[in-house]
Amino acid sequence: MSEKRIVTISRQFGSGGREVGKKLADHLHIPFYDKELIELAAKESGIDPELFEEDQGKIGKGFQLLNTIGFSLGSPITGISEMSLSDRMFLIQTEIIEQLAEKESCVLVGRCADYILADRDDVINIFIHADMTDRIQRAETDYAIKERNMEVYVNKIDKRRANYYNYYTDRRWGAANNYDACLNTSTFGIDGTANIIEVLLKSNH
């Protein structure tokens, strides 16, 4: 890819969105940020990396967690010491996402990157979803998750992702008009979807 381009990927749990993003980044020889992003953010702030997980449903529970992990009330970033822990975590992630996007082409998975980078014109925003049967199968086989009712579990994780997104943005997670393109991996496959995104990057007018 000659031109600098940032690809953000939002994804339903079990849709294979992370795998799509990884394949795309590998193929384009550009950096890929998912858990890696969390680690960067955690390193920056000194907060337990687990707290950055958007799937863990910890919004608004800042103070309980703060007590649980014995986190110091003093903020490492000046001027934001009166914010809640979750809001501070979001702000730290925001700064990191902005720095990454400024630096070079990359693929960013989750964490409201589409919203955070809305003002840039070198960004393409993708939402990845899949049919429930495939999502359940992927959760069981690829992610080795054991749950009595996997559909309930899958929907619960999505609900948390939606809550996180809807809380920190003025948009609704999974609504088509937030994204440049939404793609179903049950229709196009993981490789097929990654290939389509490459076509989309060339089609941007």
Q: Exposed (0-12), middle (13-18) or buried (19+): which is 114, by Cβ within 10 Å? A: buried
Q: Exposed (0-12), middle (13-18) or buried (19+): which is 67, by Cβ within 10 Å? A: exposed
Binding mask 32-61 for its own copies (x = CB under 8 A): ------------------------------
**Listed ranges 67-75, 105-113, 163-171, 174-182: which one lies at the site for its own copies (CB under 8 A):** 174-182
From CA 188, how far away is CA 75, in angstroms rounded? 45
Query: Apex CA 114: angle with CA 74 and CA 126, to 5°?
Result: 145
12 binds its own copies (CB under 8 A): yes
What letter would DSSP give residue 169? S
99 binds its own copies (CB under 8 A): no
174 binds its own copies (CB under 8 A): yes
Smallest distance from its own copies to CB 62, Å: 30
Which of 152/199 has CB closer to its own copies? Answer: 199
179 binds its own copies (CB under 8 A): yes
176 binds its own copies (CB under 8 A): yes
**Listed ranges 17-25, 52-60, 140-148, 188-196: which one lies at the site for its own copies (CB under 8 A):** 188-196
User: Taking a C-beta distance cutoff of 8 angstroms, is the pair 117, 8 a contact?
Assistant: yes
**Listed ranges 108-116, 146-154, 162-170, 195-203: which one lies at the site for its own copies (CB under 8 A):** 195-203
Subset of residues 117 to 136 that bind its own copies, contact rule: CB under 8 A: 124, 127, 129
**3-class secondary-structure state, position 189:** coil
Cα four-point dihedral sign 166, 144, 195, 130 = negative
Task: For residue 32, report the phi and psi dihedrals to the nearest 5 degrees.
Answer: -125, 130
The contact set with its own copies (CB under 8 A) reads: 12, 124, 127, 129, 174-177, 179-184, 187-189, 192, 195-196, 199-200, 203-205
